[in-house]
């Protein structure tokens, strides 16, 4: 068996769903939590993760991305989690593409990156912002998520 990005993408999708599920159990006010920047609340971070997952899949699929709105409450966060699951599934399906340079628009300019770089960025981006969301929650006294429970080791054990 050849090593690929598939396990990393599958772990990302699993951790995303598990962490969104735990956050959705908190009171709606938890969505307003932030660590330093009051404009980058948990509601915005979680929206950003879901929209970006779709955006990165869209780059590889050559399609237009759906911009997801911020959740107003935990019911809407659960709906965003469903959209994120679909976007993560799209990314996982793309793991078998031929790895080659592709050209696309990023921040208003044309850039060229390897397809594997786009998929690797999806994994990194999700991890980075999940940690940011959990830190924002902790800064405001919400201790619902222990990131140590969502390692790749834990993912593999959950699949056995």
Distance CA 131, CA 124 (A): 11
Helices (H) and strands (E) in the chain, counts: 5, 2
In the structure encoding, which two tokens stand for residue 146, read together? 């222990």
Provide the 8-state DSSP code for 111: E
Tens digit of pLDDT at every position of the chain (160 positions): 678 899 999 999 999 999 999 999 999 999 999 999 999 999 999 999 999 999 999 999 999 899 999 999 999 999 999 999 999 999 999 999 999 999 999 899 999 999 999 999 999 999 999 999 999 999 999 999 999 999 999 999 999 9
pLDDT of residue 1: 65
**Which residues contact residue 53 at a Cβ distance below 8 angstroms, ignoring those fewer than 6 apart?**
16, 84, 87, 88, 90, 91, 122, 125, 126
């Amino acid at each position: 068996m050849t090593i690929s990005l598939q396990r990393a993408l599958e772990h990302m999708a699993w951790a995303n769903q598990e962490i969104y599920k735990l956050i959705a159990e908190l009171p709606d006010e938890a969505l307003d939590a932030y660590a330093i920047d009051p404009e980058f609340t948990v509601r915005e971070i979680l929206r950003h993760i879901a929209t970006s997952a779709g955006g990165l899949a869209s780059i590889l699929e050559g399609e237009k991305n759906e911009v997801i709105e911020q959740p107003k409450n935990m019911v809407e966060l659960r709906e965003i989690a469903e959209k994120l699951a679909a976007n993560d599934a799209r990314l996982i399906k793309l793991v078998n593409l031929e790895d080659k340079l592709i050209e696309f628009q990023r921040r208003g300019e044309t850039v060229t990156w390897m397809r594997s770089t786009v998929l690797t960025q999806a994994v990194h981006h999700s991890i980075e912002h999940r940690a940011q969301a959990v830190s924002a929650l902790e800064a405001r006294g919400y201790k619902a998520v222990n990131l140590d429970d969502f390692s790749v080791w834990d993912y593999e054990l959950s699949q056995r």
